[in-house]
Amino acid sequence: MSVVAEGIHGCLTKMAAQVNAQGEVAYTLRAGDHELSLNERIGLPLSIQWTGAIACTHCGRATRKSFAQGHCYPCFKRLAQCDTCIVKPETCHFFQGTCREPEWGEKHCFQPHVVYLANSSGLKVGITRNTQVPTRWMDQGAIQALPIIEVDTRLQSGQVEMLFKEQVADRTNWRAMLKGQVPPLDLQEERDRLLASLESGLSELSERFGEGALRRLNGPVQHFTYPVETFPQKVVSHNLDKQPLVSGTLMGIKGQYLMLDSGVINLRKYTGYEVAIR
């Protein structure tokens, strides 16, 4: 048992989320080298005090502003992982010879990716590297997820996603996700419906990618239950840039959001911020 009143200090990184066989998600808050198990803090007071400092998560240099979730401006302009093609994988420009870091690209983008359906605030389509499953879904606060197609590269996954976007959203409505009244969906039925109606587009892509490059998956639907005692009725967000001290009673955690009785805070937005948490 850890001591409840214990606090930690350091620069924030993304919360770690783990899921057990029952689909229950457990969160660990990370600041510098320190970790704090959060599930056991639910129902108790929690405060986050920003010191005013931000350190780049890549190079460690101090930065006045955080770019692309925790980077200094030079890293933001230089790193492949901060390029716009990461958000829009269908715009991958590796083959034009203009990848910012071809080695990084080879290691991260030329790897198997999955196209999935998820239910975070309703049906959505998304892509992720195989190694990011199921983390990606928990980061989005999805209550259900189903991988539907596997391909060999990030670019291909983006091209498949573009096709699905003709019929399905690719965004989460985070307010709706946090309110918690997200009705469950039959993702297998949605998959079958979409695969049927996008049949011709999929065969075109399949031909373009080559034999066996577009693989349909038939795995089970994954379910996630988040540690939430009470969902907020009205979603008000905290902003550390405007108010460096955030405190309240921790009511729940979903996605990368802490739900306090005083408002919600998206911790991912504050990656690299030096904070004291108690």
Question: How does DSSP assign 73-87, residue by residue?
Answer: HHHHHH-GGGSHHHH
**Paired sense of beta strands 123-129 and 113-119, if any:** antiparallel
Cα-based angle 268, 258, 73 (whole degrees, multiple of 5): 15
Stretch that binds Zn ion, among 51-59, 89-97, 121-129, 229-237 (CB under 5 A): 51-59
Q: Do residues 235 and 179 make contact, with C-beta atoms less than 8 angstroms apart?
A: yes
Binding-site size, Zn ion (CB under 5 A) = 5
Nearest approach, Cβ of residue 55 and Zn ion (Å): 9
C-beta closer to Zn ion: residue 72 or 250: 72
Stretch that binds Zn ion, among 59-67, 92-100, 125-133, 212-220 (CB under 5 A): 59-67
Stretch that binds Zn ion, among 52-60, 79-87, 90-98, 131-139 (CB under 5 A): 52-60
What CA dihedral angle connects 54, 57, 61 and 67, to 10 degrees? -60
Q: Do residues 11 and 276 make contact, with C-beta atoms less than 8 angstroms apart?
A: no
Question: How does DSSP assign 71-125, residue by residue?
Answer: B-HHHHHH-GGGSHHHHSGGG--GGGT--S-HHHHHHHTSS-EEEEEEESSSEEE
Nearest approach, Cβ of residue 183 and Zn ion (Å): 42
Spatial distance between the Cα atoms of 87 and 242, rounded to a whole number of angstroms: 27
Stretch that binds Zn ion, among 55-63, 134-142, 153-161, 175-183 (CB under 5 A): 55-63
Nearest approach, Cβ of residue 274 and Zn ion (Å): 15
Q: Do residues 228 and 253 make contact, with C-beta atoms less than 8 angstroms apart?
A: yes
Nearest approach, Cβ of residue 66 and Zn ion (Å): 10
> Coil, strand, or helix at residue 39?
helix
Nearest approach, Cβ of residue 253 and Zn ion (Å): 28
Using rule CB under 5 A, residue 59 touches Zn ion:
yes
Stretch that binds Zn ion, among 37-45, 65-73, 186-194, 214-222 (CB under 5 A): 65-73
Among 38, 46, 56, 117, binds Zn ion (CB under 5 A): 56
C-beta closer to Zn ion: residue 53 or 217: 53
Evaluated on CA atoms 127, 131, 132, 134, the torsion sign reads positive
Cβ-count burial of 220 within 10 angstroms (0-12 exposed, 13-18 middle, 19+ buried)? exposed
| Range 66-85, binding Zn ion (CB under 5 A) | 72, 75
C-beta closer to Zn ion: residue 72 or 177: 72
C-beta closer to Zn ion: residue 59 or 217: 59
| Range 142-161, binding Zn ion (CB under 5 A) | none
Interacting residues toward Zn ion by CB under 5 A: 56, 58-59, 72, 75
